[in-house]
Amino acid sequence: MRAITWSGMSETAQRWGKFPISPVSNFHKLRPAKVSRSAIPAPPVSVSVLMKSICISLLLFLTIVSVSCRSHSGPLADTRYTDSLCKSYKPSSLEKLVSADLDFWQSRLNTSPGSFTAGSRLAGCLVQRFHLYGHIADLRRADSLLSALSAASNGNEAGLLRAMASLSITRHCFRQADSLVSMALAIGTEKYTSTLLQFDTRFELGETIPASRALLSCSATNEYGFFFRLAKWKHLQGETDSAAFYLGKALEWAGSSSLLRQSALSNIADLYMHEGRMEEAAPLYRQSLAIDASDWRSLQGLGRIALLHDGNSELAEKIFRFIAGRNELPDACYNLIWLAEQKKDSAATRLAAAAFAKKAEADCYGGMYRKYLVECYTGVLNDPSRALQLAAAELQNRATPQTYSWYAWCLYKTGEYDKALAIYKAHVSGKPLEALELYWMGKMMQGMKKPYNAQEFFHAANRNRYDLSPSKQSDLLSLIN
């Protein structure tokens, strides 16, 4: 899935944006949020930090300018580069380190069952391995280990509560995450870290005013987590260039952490992809891959560029299948839906959608993929009743303009037009939405004989049409007056 996903975790799990669907994919909004736009001040920097800022910002600027000065008519996803990357792929140093650490801490835990250090370190290793290979069982086991340790400490360890909240965000259990963060804040230790995490949970629950207050209270800092979230907030307000700037600031504070550097680089690239600025996105994806070739998110970004910009379905398929062979998450199945759509192969599109739905609806994923399941069931799989069940379940998890728009769309698709319109008026109209939701609302308005409203939505969706699948992009362009 192509939506931008922003990290809301501790440094160990900072990169939950490694895969575009999971765990949180509603970072970017296409309309300004109805909240106060009081500026959140940028924190002061020392002269040495300022010089570092200038150097890194200049490096990013020169990268973008050098690309912009080239012809944009040629392919951006280089076949030789990608072939070399795939054919010569070897486990990265991070993969080897995580594997060794996991074996070590598992051995220590076997020797000393209940050990706080061994259990917490093992949980951290499992989370890292999840980001490398997409083994959802690793995430679930990490959660079990942390829950047991927290119970043993009578819930008095704020660090454990924050770690559990981070995993809950990854698994889309946002209310549970928010409750855990509140408990950590009540304990009072490392309040800054807990407050940043509270921003994440309130943001995902659609509580933008409390989220902004949480971020504002952290504004006197110079730190990766703050700048990363400030970028997230700026993009909510529709300020893409400001968001990219603050991600660049976050990059300065990544230090020697390849994980954090990759997260900043790939999220900047995602910002540009979101706006169709693929010439600027491609080199940033390659920079991230140069740090670690197991950055599946950036490799997937190049696959999307090959598919949508270059029209190179063969290369895109090679990339998507390469990722699918090394990562277990359902994302690869979803990518194959886009591939089949681009080829205008309806039978293959349906088969890919069915494969994705079968995998994504497994109990182990909970609600992580509901948005894209709704897309499949109201589209190629043509089962709007099932989509309505999923949308209703997500409203219980988080009631936001986004999720209400899913519900309204599913009501419309099942023929409950009056109820769909009532939900739209009460919870969606005038609120920030992503490209797919804007497209759905446009189609709904069109079906309800409201052409002016439909065109407003279609034009808004078109500004970020590269977040839509190929068939929806084609349909959208045919609908715009």
CATH of 337-481, one of 2.60.40, 1.10.3470, 3.40.50, 1.25.40: 1.25.40
Same fold, 1-329 and 337-481: yes
1-329 has CATH 1.25.40.10 classification: yes
| pLDDT attached to residue 256 | 87
pLDDT tens-digit readout, 406-463: 999 999 999 999 999 999 999 999 998 999 999 999 999 999 999 999 999 999 999 9
pLDDT tens-digit readout, 269-320: 999 999 899 999 999 999 999 988 888 999 999 999 999 999 999 999 999 9
With a pLDDT cut of 90, the percent of the chain lying above it is 73
What does the angle CA 252 – CA 300 – CA 314 come to, to the nearest 5 degrees?
145
Q: Please indicate, yes or no, whether the overall pTM of this predicted structure exceeds 0.75.
A: yes
| pLDDT attached to residue 93 | 77
Kindly give the interhelix angle for 401-413 and 435-447, rounded to the nearest 10 degrees. 40
Q: How confident is the model at residue 73 (pLDDT cuts 50, 70, 90)?
A: low
Mean pLDDT of the chain: 85
Report how far residue 442's alpha carbon sits from residue 430's, in angstroms, rounded to the nearest whole number: 13
> What mean pLDDT do residues 208-220 have?
92
In the predicted structure, residue 341 carries a pLDDT above the cut 80: yes
| pLDDT attached to residue 83 | 85
Contact 420, 436 (CB under 8 A): no
Label residue 123 exposed, middle or buried (CB < 10 Å: 0-12, 13-18, 19+): buried
| pLDDT attached to residue 92 | 73
Pairwise pLDDT comparison (430 vs 222), residue with the higher score: 430
Give me the residue spans of the domains in the chain: 1-329, 337-481
Q: DSSP letter at 425?
A: I
In the predicted structure, residue 1 carries a pLDDT above the cut 70: no
pLDDT tens-digit readout, 20-65: 233 223 333 333 233 233 333 333 333 333 334 434 444 454 444 4
At a CB cut-off of 8 Å and minimum separation 6, what does 46 contact? none
